[in-house]
Amino acid sequence: MNEFELIARLTRNLPSHPSVIAGPGDDCAVLDLGLPGRYLLFKTDAVVEGVHFLPETPAEKAGHKALARCLSDIAAMAGTPHSAVITLAAPAGYATARLEGFYAGLSETARRYEVAIVGGETTTNPERFLVSVAMVGTAPRDRWVSRTGAKPGDALFVTGELGGSILGKHLDFAPRLAEAQWLAEHFPLHAMIDLSDGLAGDLRHLMQAAGVGAELLARAIPISRAARLLAREPADAHPDRPAKRSPLQAALADGEDFELLFSLPAAEAVRLSDAWRSRFPKERLSCIGRITPEPGLRLRDHRGAVTLEAHGYTHFGDAGTDAGPG
């Protein structure tokens, strides 16, 4: 059983409530608590030493990553983060300086994105350092974006560049909060997700949520410099990674890009591309394909279209193929 199958089993028949607008299965839960004009967003995520960062990783970067992962999920709903609480689990005698470094990195990122750290819990995890972050935020009632609304004919866009996050980006990425809020304010987004399991994997989540398929244009996928560098390294340079892959394969399958993948009506594509260039001139936005009515994920290049089998990583019970450690 992989992570997704396990989650599906565990989340069957969970208690819900009429005020739950979106529950398990989206980037954040969406709750109607009676806040005028807004919904509450609620999310949890965790980082584990040796899985998402290494014992050698500077603690400040690990702290940044712990908070920024949640921020990326708030971004995926076009939300605004508000505050976070931290569960810190560590072995007895774990280096205090490292805990303080972790908190320093986490706090700096919290300050940058105006997130209050409002509480925490420390407990013993005898073998390793693990931190779980829970975050609340808000989103306008009429302008939050779920994973579920992709429609056949939609254009598919992705921010930034993909692949090779293990070489460093997974520790210092900037969650796309401003971009997501701007997108939702100016364009009728149908569906959005942040890329944590790899483009192909997360696109499958969008497809499954809406019962649609997708076709990607190989030439349009923005491949990162890191993905190209990785492809040039000897096959055994990263023994914890799967078999050597091309830069395109890395961009399709590598986890922890933390970019935004979204769909909107194709008629908006040109207006979006123009407006984006004015508003975010230094950041890339790529139209990488379209949503199709028939199911399945296809990749089109100059030779034609091929169907992609399952890509992306499963985290649970499969630590070695997580994008971290790096």
Judged by beta carbon, residue 120 or residue 153, the one nearer its own copies is: 120
Contact 56, 43 (CB under 8 A): no
CA 70/CA 195 separation, integer angstroms = 12
Judged by beta carbon, residue 86 or residue 150, the one nearer its own copies is: 86
Shortest separation between residue 319's beta carbon and its own copies, angstroms: 4
Q: Please name which of 50, 43, 44, 21 lies closest in space to residue 34, comparing C-alpha atoms.
A: 21
Q: Please name which of 178, 181, 168, 172 lies closest in space to residue 139, comparing C-alpha atoms.
A: 181
DSSP-based three-state secondary structure for 112:
helix
123 has which bridge partners?
89
Judged by beta carbon, residue 9 or residue 271, the one nearer its own copies is: 9
Shortest separation between residue 269's beta carbon and its own copies, angstroms: 32
Judged by beta carbon, residue 247 or residue 255, the one nearer its own copies is: 255
CA 288/CA 218 separation, integer angstroms = 8
**Counting beta carbons within 10 angstroms of the beta carbon of residue 70, is it exposed (0 to 12), middle (13 to 18) or buried (19 or more)?**
buried
CA 56/CA 78 separation, integer angstroms = 34
User: What residues contact 62, with CB distance under 8 A and at least 6 apart?
Assistant: 47, 49, 52, 53, 102, 105, 131, 171
Judged by beta carbon, residue 108 or residue 233, the one nearer its own copies is: 108
Judged by beta carbon, residue 267 or residue 316, the one nearer its own copies is: 316
Shortest separation between residue 108's beta carbon and its own copies, angstroms: 9
299 has which bridge partners?
216, 306
Shortest separation between residue 120's beta carbon and its own copies, angstroms: 6
Shortest separation between residue 146's beta carbon and its own copies, angstroms: 13
Shortest separation between residue 224's beta carbon and its own copies, angstroms: 25
Contact 184, 268 (CB under 8 A): no
Shortest separation between residue 209's beta carbon and its own copies, angstroms: 15
Judged by beta carbon, residue 181 or residue 196, the one nearer its own copies is: 196
| 8-state DSSP, 294 | S
10 Å Cβ neighbour count for 234?
Answer: 7
Shortest separation between residue 62's beta carbon and its own copies, angstroms: 14
Q: What is the dihedral of CA 173, 171, 138, 153, to 10 degrees?
A: 50
Judged by beta carbon, residue 201 or residue 247, the one nearer its own copies is: 201
